[in-house]
Amino acid sequence: MVTRRIAEILGNGQPDESVTIQGWVRTKRELKEFTFVEVNDGSSLANLQVVLNPDLPNYAEVLERLNTGASVEVAGVLVESPAKGQRIELKAKEVKVYGEANPETYPLQKKRHSFEFLRTIGHLRSRTNTFGSVFRVRNACATAIHQFFQERGFLWIHSPIITASDCEGAGEMFAVTTLNLKDVPRTDNQEIDYSQDFFGKSAYLTVSGQLEAEVMAMAFSNVYTFGPTFRAENSNTSRHLAEFWMVEPEMAFCDLQGDMDLAEAFLKHIFKFVLESCPSDMEFFNSRIDNTVLAIADNIINNQFERLTYTEAIALLEKADKAFEYPVKWGLDLQSEHERYLAEELFKKPVIVNDYPVEIKAFYMRLNDDEKTVRAMDVLAPKIGEIIGGSQREERLEVLERRIQQQGLNLDDYWWYLDLRRYGTVPHAGFGLGFERLVQFMTGMGNIRDVIPFPRAPLTVEF
C-alpha cells in the first residue's frame, strides 16, 4: 500500500482505481444517502473530499467516530467529482479510524476562532487553515533562502547558540548557567563566581551569529548562518520575539554597496520563489488576512528599492506633514512609525537607509571618514519597518579597538575577533534578516507570534 499526499492527488487531478490517504477530519456532512468527510493531511490548504456510502462494512461505527479532529486512513477509488468545487473525490472502500476527537471537548470546531484564542492552544492551531498556510509559506521561505545562497556559492555555516560574547553590545542576553540559583557561589568581593560555572565563565544565548560568520567568511569568502537567536528585550510588540530565527550572510571583499545589492536581490528571490511554490496559500492570505499581500509581492519583485542616507531620511521626516509620537532629530534612532512612514506612505516600497550616526549603531560597523556616521544599512518594509539590518564591518584594527573601548566593552572578550584584523584582514560586509518578520511581511499576518510555531516572548513560553 502506498499512501499518497492530498496535495499531490489534487494537483494531479486524475482518477485512480486504488488510493490510500491518511489525515485528520476537518468536517463531516451527513446526507440521507451518504456522508461527505473533508480530510486534510497538511500538504495543502485544500481538503480531499471523501465519500462514505452506507454499504461500507463499518458505516455506522465510522460515522459515529469520524468527527472533526479525528485521525483517519481511507482506501478507495478516486473518481471525478460530480459536484462543483473539486475535480476529484475519494469513494471510500475501507476506513480506519486511528484516534477520535470528542466533539464535546475538542477546541477546534468549525466556527472561526480569534488568533488570540488560537495562541492559547498552540499545540492544535497548526490544524487550522491559516496556520497551515503560514507554516507552509514559512517552509518555502526557508527553502528559497538556502537555494539563493547555495546557487551563489555561499557556505551555510552553523554558528553556536551558546556564546561568551555579546555581538550587538546591547546587553540583551539570556544567561546560560548551571549554578545553583538558591546558593550562588561568590568571590571574596561578593561577585558571582562564574569560575565555578559550567563553562568556567559567564555564558549566554547568542543574539546574533555575525561574529562567528565573520570568522568563517575570512576562510570561505561567502557564508551565511540560518538559526535561532535570542534577545532578552522586554518588548511586548507585534514585531518582537525573545527567540527568533535570523539569516546572516557575510561576504569578504565586499563593501556596503555590494551588501545592499545582495539584500535587494535576496528579498526579490524569496518572494518570487514563494509565489511560485505556494500560490493557493498566498491567495488565501490575500483574500482572508490582508488584501495587499499579492500587490506588495508584485511590487517587491518588479520595482527597485529606494535608497537614501539616514541624513536624507531625517530631512524627509522633518518635512513630513504628520504628527509622530517620537521626536525626529539627527542623531536619534528611527522608530517603527518613522520607518513605516518612509516605506509605506512616502515611497510605497522597501527603502534602504544607510550611513547612520555612529552613536546609535553597534561597535563593529565601519566608521566613515566624517567620524560621525557608520557604514550601516537597514532595509525598511511597508507594514513591518526594519526587516534587515546590516553593515560594512570595521576591518582596521586600531579603529575597531577604539570603538570597542568607546562603547564600554571589554577588549579581552573580543581577542579572537580582533585577530581577524591582525591576520589577513579585508573589507567585508553582511546583514541579518529577521526570518519571522519576513514571514509576516510575506503573509500579512499582523502578529509575529502567529508566524512561528512556538513563540517565546515576555511571560510566554508554553508548549
Interface contacts to Mg ion, rule CB under 5 A? 389
- Rounded CA-CA distance 431/222 in Å is 12
Residue 1's SS3 state is coil
How is the chain split among helix, strand and coil, in percent rounded to 5? Answer: 35, 25, 40
- Rounded CA-CA distance 274/139 in Å is 9
* Of residues 197 and 378, the one with the C-beta less far from ligand 4AD: 378
Residue nearest to Mg ion according to CB distances in the complex: 389
Closest CA to 46 of 88, 96, 106: 88
What stretches of 14-128 show up as alpha helix (H) in DSSP? Answer: 59-65, 115-120
* Of residues 42 and 258, the one with the C-beta less far from ligand 4AD: 258
| Least separation in angstroms between CB 430 and ligand 4AD | 5
| Least separation in angstroms between CB 72 and Mg ion | 47
* Of residues 101 and 334, the one with the C-beta less far from Mg ion: 334
- Rounded CA-CA distance 417/401 in Å is 10
> In Å, how far are 252, 374, 377 from 362, measured between CA atoms?
19, 9, 12
Q: Are 177 and 201 in contact (CB under 8 A)?
A: no
| Least separation in angstroms between CB 392 and ligand 4AD | 10
| Least separation in angstroms between CB 433 and ligand 4AD | 6
241 touches, from Mg ion, ligand 4AD, none (C-beta below 5 to 8 Å by class): ligand 4AD
| Least separation in angstroms between CB 337 and Mg ion | 16
- Rounded CA-CA distance 138/129 in Å is 14
208 touches, from ligand 4AD, Mg ion, none (C-beta below 5 to 8 Å by class): ligand 4AD
* Of residues 19 and 438, the one with the C-beta less far from ligand 4AD: 438
431 touches, from ligand 4AD, Mg ion, none (C-beta below 5 to 8 Å by class): ligand 4AD
240 touches, from ligand 4AD, Mg ion, none (C-beta below 5 to 8 Å by class): ligand 4AD
| Least separation in angstroms between CB 73 and Mg ion | 49
* Of residues 128 and 225, the one with the C-beta less far from ligand 4AD: 225
| Least separation in angstroms between CB 384 and ligand 4AD | 8
In 154-211, the DSSP E strands lie at 155-156, 162-163, 175-176, 203-205
167 touches, from ligand 4AD, Mg ion, none (C-beta below 5 to 8 Å by class): ligand 4AD
Torsion, CA 260, CA 264, CA 267, CA 270, rounded to 10 = -120
* Of residues 168 and 281, the one with the C-beta less far from Mg ion: 168
**What strand order describes the sheet that includes 385-392?**
155-156, 222-230, 243-252, 428-434, 385-392, 373-381, 351-357, 306-309
| Least separation in angstroms between CB 393 and ligand 4AD | 8
23 touches, from ligand 4AD, Mg ion, none (C-beta below 5 to 8 Å by class): none
- Rounded CA-CA distance 84/73 in Å is 25
Sign for the pseudo-dihedral over CA of 261, 263, 264, 266: positive
Q: Are 194 and 178 in contact (CB under 8 A)?
A: no
Where does this chain bind ligand 4AD (CB under 6 A)? 167-168, 208, 210, 231, 233, 240-241, 244, 246, 248, 386-391, 430-432, 434, 436-437
* Of residues 132 and 432, the one with the C-beta less far from Mg ion: 432
Q: Are 90 and 76 in contact (CB under 8 A)?
A: yes
395 touches, from ligand 4AD, Mg ion, none (C-beta below 5 to 8 Å by class): none
* Of residues 74 and 433, the one with the C-beta less far from ligand 4AD: 433
340 touches, from Mg ion, ligand 4AD, none (C-beta below 5 to 8 Å by class): none
- Rounded CA-CA distance 160/210 in Å is 10
In 172-329, the DSSP E strands lie at 175-176, 203-205, 222-230, 243-252, 306-309
* Of residues 197 and 248, the one with the C-beta less far from ligand 4AD: 248
- Rounded CA-CA distance 25/38 in Å is 6
382 touches, from ligand 4AD, Mg ion, none (C-beta below 5 to 8 Å by class): none
449 touches, from ligand 4AD, Mg ion, none (C-beta below 5 to 8 Å by class): none
| Least separation in angstroms between CB 340 and Mg ion | 15
| Least separation in angstroms between CB 222 and Mg ion | 22
Helix (H) / strand (E) containing 391: strand 385-392
| Least separation in angstroms between CB 387 and ligand 4AD | 5
* Of residues 333 and 462, the one with the C-beta less far from Mg ion: 333
Q: 432 has which bridge partners?
A: 389
* Of residues 140 and 241, the one with the C-beta less far from ligand 4AD: 241
